[in-house]
Structure 1
Amino acid sequence: MGRLNYTNRKSEGLKLGQVCAKDLLKRIPPASGSKAAFRDPVVELDVSSRCLTDDGLKELARGLLETYEANNPDHVIIRLEELNLRDNQLTPASLEELALVFPHACRDLRDLDLSGNNLCINSRRHEDAWEAFLRSLSQSCVLRRIDLGGNHLGAKAFEILLKVYSQESPIDFVLPSHLSPTGPSKSPLSKALAEQMSGVEASTREMSIGSRSDTTDPDEDARVGRTRTSKNGVFSSFSSFSPAELADESRGLRSVPYIIICNTSMDETSALYMSYILANHHLPDRLLARVPPAKAGSSAQQLASYELESPCRGVVYLPNSGLGNAASKVMTLAEDARSNLLAPTSVAAAIPQQDRQGGTTQAKATTPGHRRNRSQMTEDEARESITADLDHARSRLQGNVIEASGHTSNDLWRVALRMLALSRMLQPRTPKVPSPVLSSEVLPVIPPVTPPVAPPISSPAPKPKLQVIRTLEIPDMTPKKPNPWGLPLAPKSTNQSIAQRRRKESLSTPATPRIDKVSQTRSEPPKREREATAKEYRSRLPLSFAEGTWARILAYAVGGNSLMSRGQQLSVVRYGMDRGTLGKEREALGLKDAAQKWHILADMDCLTYEIR
């Protein structure tokens, strides 16, 4: 392992970056038998508190990129496991350079420290650099910690963080109740886990009926493939699978056990966005089981300090002086919701800490009447209570943000309302049908009055003309052959001959049913099937496009294709085409503008980015 520590160097800025790049490029062997070819590829780079600045980081990133590009399948030159860039006056411009390096180090990087810099997202260019940096970590599978503390990120940075987080694939935790050795699995690892978890399911059934004591033998656990549960009641990793194999199943920001965002000037808007991430982020003990363990030393001590000193679990957001009472309440409720959603153990775990200590704080009732005390609730009722309180607290913050900063402060809100304006113009084509006449409007039909017609004046009858008929007399002629055409002299009637033929056929062999040849070759679908098929491909909307097609067209038109999910796009289009929503909006004209916008966004399900 090569640890490159530059904390004691006298160089700073651009010169220090050039020195770092030179040391990295030395690892590229000039030939296969050179000394550099036998170096350990693992690199831990520590450039903390050296005033590296953006210029120096650009040189450092260039050296890392060239070294990674020199890797080949037969010989690995570098594996960057730790990168410490703390207190180096880095701005968002440095994030663009790091975004080019991290895709190459996605399977190597385990610890990233960017704390104490000048990462403030306050312009469009900074937003693009921040988003590119976050998306460059989407393939990271062994990252244990990312430290962004001490940077005044701003509310927009947290919104982009939520957007990128929501678009990542969820982590596939294979739980015992979802496994079947014979059923379909998503990966070979899932099949192997299913075989090992069969022993866990059997032991769970035995414990449920009381035939097994709580104390188990570790040797027996290892023999049947059973794992011990952690203090949160969550199944830990299996010893027979390496962390690298488990890491292939989890990638991106969702797989990072520790995300440090303390002292980042969080306000109510930032807390609103982070509450969605916090409620869906898995607990550290589950995520640490899927990454390689930290080495003994400063890294392990740092991770242990988060568990001992900070009240946060995984997502460390305290201390943050900008958090008010409303923001702190939302984050606390999100932490409780995460405990119930991701690691439920019992009813006691579903009850917040203040209620377990005998506090008198009551949840706000969402239904008429007084709600029972949480200590008397079932597990499902406790979850619903916490979820209702969290939704209510979020709605208050959302209304405050819309009133203070407007709907344009959030990209999703801005795009959704623009898309709604275009959806109002989509109207189904209705055939012109004459308006029905009410029964009260039916008048008696009066026959038209016709004037009397005078009889015509008789005129003298014309004199009849005599017709002269001349006859031509032809002498009698007899043919040479009688009946030359062979015609019957006295033909029988057609009806009689048909009846006789039918009687003969009935007396002979029984008639066989006639089979239509056309029906054998082509079977025409029923009329109803044709109509159903036509409705599937034809719509009464303009150009006969379906709702989903128009939703995608309008989303592209307003720039919301990368912001809104397919369900949100359809929801906006349907809301816009529904004329009944105009009546609801008319009734809400007495409310504040922020409240009206909030209700519209809530009805369209566009208050937040939809997390997969």
Structure 2
Amino acid sequence: MVKLNYVNRKISGVKLAQSVQRDIQKRIPKIGEERKLAAVQRDPVVEIDISGRQLGLEGFAIVCDSIYNMGLIKLSRVEELNLSGNDLTAECLPHLRRALSVCSDLHSLDISHNHINISTIKEMEDWKSFLTVFSDLKCVRRLDFSNNPLGDLAIEIMFCVYAVEKEIFIPYDFSALKETEAVEEATEANYSVEGFDIRSQGGHLYLAPHPEDNTTESATHLGKVSSTTIASQASGLLSSSPTSSVDPSRDPAEIHGLRAIPYIVMSSIGITDLGAMWMSFVIPEHPLPSELLPHLPPLKEGPLAATLRKYDALLDFRGIILTENSDITAVGQRVLKEAEDRRDQDAARVEELITHGRGRRRSSTLSDSGFEDPGRRDPNRRTSGQDDSFHFSSTSRKALNEYRYGLDRSRARIQLNALRDKGVEASLLWKVVMRMVVVGRAILLDYSGPLMIDGYEPSITFEVKQSQRSSVDSSFKAAQTSAQSSPSSQEALSGSLAGLTLKKKDKVRLPGKLPINLWMKIICMAEDGDNLTTRTQRLNIFHWVRSRASIRNELEYVSESTETQTRRVLGKVKGLAYEL
């Protein structure tokens, strides 16, 4: 292993970058330099530490170009790259992306203690492009963004990139079940379901068909279980997955992208509750380090291994580290904790399914609240003549509701606060969705023909009820600061709405007599050129704006605060978050 360490050099900036360039060029043999070629082949691993040398943009560009040129010849492998404390800004991200594109064996990237801030359109584009490079990297153990003023916008873009990444499927470690006393010996081998393997990812299970030539062998080796029995216990958690095998030694998990990085460190990055809310969608989907590390190359003992052990010692964060963000209030801290609990709950459901309901591991939220979810009771507990109704105290009922809906309530509170303070400008996604609603309604209102994208139809329906109120939004009615209408004015408004009829026009033609598919493409290209919305969200938006029932639905809440009305529309079209 070759360690290029420049921490104690007396020079810095461009001069140091030129020194790094000369050292890297020594690992690029020219034609006829057999000795240099043999030396590089004998020791191909390189670790580069240029921390605290104030490279700046010019010096950083020189270093990245050198790394790129070394990576092109594929003789050296950069496994660790420490660029902390070098006065890097968002302008440096394109250079770093280019260098990382040839570092397929990278284990650790540290760009902490720099000045990377994301605010302008160009910076947003560079940041998003930089994050996408990790989709081609499959060995990264640690990604450290700490002590950069990234801000909420950068975290939202990270969530957007994370959402569009291809899902990873990690085989369930059935060998661990042998250590569980509550699982019978006969149950331990029954994990092949008539030619299928059970796999898990993000707390969910998938059925993966065996390759045709391995079906018989796998069934003989693992045993068989009735597919009807498994399906009845799965309760809808099973779905299809790519062809693979349960045994990691026979078929290693395909891991890549941000989803496959065990440790993403984002301490002191200048985010608020809004950034915490975005991360609360990522945390439940992100596999634990203990699930990812077995599928990465072995790690040698050293500074990196010691650092990872420190991360493991943290109690509140596992894998995604968000410590020392002082702008996150108690609400933001709560949403992060509830996201971690949600991940535990999903993992508990997986284990309950695998162990047939015996010896299941329950999350701290469940074990501390003193209640049991009625949907997860043991079917064998009922005896003849015994009442099967489920009883629990008011305290347990409150804990059950908190367990089920606590995370959604915390997210809703943060969303309402952000909409109140900044409107839809608080989020790139919210801004795009509301613009599509406004433009789409002006063009598609009263269109009654078929509405499909790639053969899919909208997934939302309308229920117009004057007394309709969302339990989530109503919890924050007292916190709304906007002026409220007096009781008399509300009664008058309700009376006016009761007599309002929104008649639908017959045979409405779209402007320019263009077909609906073309108009949908025009609206998407005009208002969502960055493809922030998914196909499902777009269908929901177009279905919402073409119906006059949606107008009546919006008018029923016209007396409420602006942020509440906006959030209702975003929620109706499922545009409050990126679709994972």
TM (norm. structure 2) is 0.70
Instruction: Summarize the Cα distance change of 1:10–1:198 in structure 2 as closer, same or farther, 3 Å threshold.
Output: farther
CA distance in 2, matches of 1:302, 1:320: 20
Q: Is the 8 A contact 2:316 2:337 kept in 1?
A: no
Cα RMSD (Å): 3.8
Aligned to 1:109: 106
The alignment partner of 1:289 has SS state of helix
What is the one-letter code of the residue matched to 2:195?
A: S
CA distance in 1, matches of 2:207, 2:75: 33
Q: Is the 8 A contact 2:82 2:111 kept in 1?
A: yes
CA distance in 2, matches of 1:430, 1:181: 44
Give the one of 426, 449, 453 matched to 2:444. 426
Give the one of 274, 281, 284 matched to 1:279. 284
What is the one-letter code of the residue matched to 1:240?
A: S
**Alignment of structure 1 residues 377-526 onto 2, 5 Å:** 386-424=403-441, 425-427=443-445
Q: Is the 8 A contact 2:6 2:50 kept in 1?
A: yes
Question: Which structure would you say has the larger Rg?
Answer: 1
In the alignment, structure 1 residue 551 sits paired with structure 2 residue 520: yes
Deviations 1:104-158 (A, max 9, x none): 21x2111111111111222222222211211121211111110111112111111
Measured after TM superposition, the shift of residue 552 of structure 1 is 2.9
Aligned to 1:89: 87
The alignment partner of 2:3 has SS state of strand
Deviations 1:399-432 (A, max 9, x none): 111111110221111111111112212145689x
Aligned to 1:340: 345
CA distance in 2, matches of 1:271, 1:556: 30
Give the one of 42, 47, 70 matched to 2:45. 42
Aligned to 1:475: none
Instruction: Summarize the Cα distance change of 1:154–1:359 in structure 2 as closer, same or farther, 3 Å threshold.
Output: farther
Aligned to 2:136: 139
**Alignment of structure 1 residues 104-503 onto 2, 5 Å:** 104-105=102-103, 107-175=104-172, 176=191, 180=195, 198=219, 201-202=222-223, 238=247, 240-241=249-250, 246=252, 249-342=254-347, 344=349, 345-346=351-352, 353=364, 356-357=367-368, 372=392, 386-424=403-441, 425-427=443-445
Instruction: Summarize the Cα distance change of 1:358–1:254 in structure 2 as closer, same or farther, 3 Å threshold.
Output: closer
Q: Is the 8 A contact 1:271 1:330 kept in 2?
A: yes
Q: Is the 8 A contact 2:171 2:248 kept in 1?
A: no
Give the one of 55, 77, 80 matched to 1:79. 77
CA distance in 1, matches of 2:213, 2:138: 20
Q: Is the 8 A contact 1:81 1:110 kept in 2?
A: yes
Q: Is the 8 A contact 2:192 2:219 kept in 1?
A: no
Measured after TM superposition, the shift of residue 339 of structure 1 is 1.6
The alignment partner of 1:68 has SS state of helix
Name the count of aligned residue pairs.
Answer: 456
Instruction: Summarize the Cα distance change of 1:600–1:145 in structure 2 as closer, same or farther, 3 Å threshold.
Output: same
Instruction: Summarize the Cα distance change of 1:255–1:430 in structure 2 as closer, same or farther, 3 Å threshold.
Output: closer
Deviations 1:61-113 (A, max 9, x none): 010112222x1xxxx322111101122221111212101111221x2111111
In the alignment, structure 1 residue 581 sits paired with structure 2 residue 550: yes
The alignment partner of 2:252 has SS state of helix
Measured after TM superposition, the shift of residue 192 of structure 1 is 9.1
Aligned to 1:22: 22
What is the one-letter code of the residue matched to 1:103?
A: S
Q: Is the 8 A contact 1:282 1:342 kept in 2?
A: no
Q: Is the 8 A contact 2:447 2:546 kept in 1?
A: no
CA distance in 1, matches of 2:346, 2:132: 26
The alignment partner of 1:137 has SS state of helix
Q: What are structure 2's unaligned runs of at least 5 residues?
A: 173-190, 199-205, 230-244, 374-389, 450-506
Q: Is the 8 A contact 1:428 1:541 kept in 2?
A: no
Q: Is the 8 A contact 1:340 1:350 kept in 2?
A: no
Instruction: Summarize the Cα distance change of 1:316–1:332 in structure 2 as closer, same or farther, 3 Å threshold.
Output: same
In the alignment, structure 1 residue 99 sits paired with structure 2 residue 97: yes
What is the one-letter code of the residue matched to 1:417?
A: M
**Alignment of structure 1 residues 584-595 onto 2, 5 Å:** 584-595=553-564
Instruction: Summarize the Cα distance change of 1:430–1:280 in structure 2 as closer, same or farther, 3 Å threshold.
Output: closer
Which is further off, 295-304 or 341-350? 341-350
The alignment partner of 1:80 has SS state of strand
Measured after TM superposition, the shift of residue 372 of structure 1 is 4.2
CA distance in 2, matches of 1:596, 1:272: 20
Q: Is the 8 A contact 1:237 1:290 kept in 2?
A: no
What is the one-letter code of the residue matched to 2:134?
A: L
CA distance in 1, matches of 2:263, 2:393: 34
TM (norm. structure 1) is 0.67
CA distance in 2, matches of 1:398, 1:285: 32
CA distance in 2, matches of 1:32, 1:195: 54
Give the one of 60, 64, 68 matched to 2:63. 60
CA distance in 1, matches of 2:83, 2:162: 23
Instruction: Summarize the Cα distance change of 1:20–1:204 in structure 2 as closer, same or farther, 3 Å threshold.
Output: farther
CA distance in 2, matches of 1:192, 1:313: 39
Q: Is the 8 A contact 2:195 2:209 kept in 1?
A: no
